[in-house]
């Protein structure tokens, strides 16, 4: 049986808009196991980053309900002091924007050293620098001595991202959260960063949550996939289940909108109608994807859809998946 590192139980994270609170993460239940890569996918605005920040307890003005159990400890109720002990040591995070994640006024070596010293204040200066140099080398930076004394703006995007990864793994965390780690990087650098995360997963024996909207990355990296829409998990299963046998209309629509290497030159990409609703406008009753597939009858949807296991380990929300078809296909038999 796999070792469970993280378990979310009915997690709900709400933000205040004017005079009311609205859930950006709504009743999310999932697990992350040791040495597993769980990909969380969906369009921008679906709640993926809000979920990542909720797990790390980085939202300062949000209402967080439910449970976030990390190695059996509920960190929703953890004290600020305990959270400081956990963050950066047992739980690491690779932030999406490396430029804003790094302090522009502090040298690279000093920033990584600070992440180490915070959790080991008895470490000597020589041992601290040696550890920083080791980390820079570990993340694939070959001129570590030079980078050690540089500032963030002097590095390329790929190099900065490697520095952010070095900070995230500085204390060998058990859980690594990567929030869109390859955003704005060219294809070659993206591949190198993903290879690095995979290697770190093996070296640290850690669990990884990979937040992304890139389904190609999911197919290459993930063991399991959670598809998120409007704050809810609408489908979750193994990477094979979700990529090869997608069931929820949203998952099928995402995959159907991807370019195919073998597609006919006359074949048009599927376009998902509409947009993800803004936080106050998310429907709180019924199927949240219903308005973006208006050719499917109202009777196909559940009034209160929940995740149901359709095959072992493969869960789908709402019965509408049984009636879904693309407009150009006609009624699904």
pLDDT by residue (tens digit) across 139-196?
889 899 999 999 999 999 889 999 999 999 999 999 999 998 887 778 888 888 888 8
Quick one: how far is CA 265 from the chain centroid?
Answer: 33
Contact of 201 with 208, CB cutoff 8 Å: yes
The class that CATH gives domain 4-90+171-329 is: alpha beta
Q: Looking at residues 302-320, what average pLDDT do you find?
A: 96
Q: Looking at residues 72-76, what average pLDDT do you find?
A: 94
Residues 6+ apart with CB under 8 A from 256: 270, 326
- The fraction of the chain above a pLDDT of 90, given in percent, is 76
Distances (CA, A) of 326 to 50, 256, 271, 275, 332: 30, 9, 10, 17, 8
pLDDT of 324 above 90? yes
Is residue 113 very low, low, confident or very high in pLDDT (cuts 50, 70, 90)? very high
pLDDT of 272 above 60? yes
Q: Max Cα separation, the chain?
A: 70
Mean pLDDT, rounded, of the chain: 91
How do the domains of the chain map onto residue ranges?
A: 4-90+171-329, 98-170
């Amino acid at each position: 049986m796999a070792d469970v590192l993280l378990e979310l139980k009915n997690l709900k994270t709400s933000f205040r808009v004017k005079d009311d609170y609205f859930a950006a993460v709504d009743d999310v239940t999932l697990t992350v196991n040791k040495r597993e890569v769980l990909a969380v996918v969906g369009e921008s605005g679906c709640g993926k980053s809000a979920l990542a920040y909720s797990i790390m307890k980085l939202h300062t003005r949000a209402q967080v309900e439910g449970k976030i159990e990390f190695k059996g400890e509920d960190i929703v109720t953890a004290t600020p002091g305990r959270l400081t002990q956990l963050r950066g040591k047992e739980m690491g995070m690779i932030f999406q924007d490396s430029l804003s994640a790094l302090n522009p006024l502090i040298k690279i070596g000093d920033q990584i050293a600070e992440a180490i010293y915070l959790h080991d204040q008895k470490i000597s200066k020589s041992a601290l620098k040696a550890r920083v140099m080791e980390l820079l080398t570990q993340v694939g930076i070959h001129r570590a001595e030079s980078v050690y004394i540089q500032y963030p703006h002097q590095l390329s995007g790929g190099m900065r991202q490697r520095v952010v990864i070095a900070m995230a793994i500085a204390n060998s965390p058990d859980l690594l959260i990567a929030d869109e780690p390859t955003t704005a990087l060219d294809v070659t650098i993206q591949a190198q960063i993903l290879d690095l995360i995979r290697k770190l997963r093996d070296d640290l024996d850690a669990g990884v949550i990979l937040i992304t909207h890139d389904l190609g990355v999911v197919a290459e990296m993930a063991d399991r996939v959670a598809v998120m829409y409007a704050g809810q998990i609408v489908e979750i299963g193994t990477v094979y289940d979700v990529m090869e046998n997608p069931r929820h209309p949203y998952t099928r629509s995402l995959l159907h909108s991807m370019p195919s290497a073998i597609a006919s030159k006359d074949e048009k990409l599927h376009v998902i109608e509409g947009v993800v609703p803004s936080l106050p406008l998310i429907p709180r009753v019924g199927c949240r994807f219903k308005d973006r597939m208006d050719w499917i009858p109202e009777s196909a949807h559940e009034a209160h859809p929940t995740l149901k296991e359709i095959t072992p380990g493969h869960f789908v929300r709402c019965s509408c998946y049984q009636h879904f078809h693309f407009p150009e296909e006609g009624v699904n038999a």
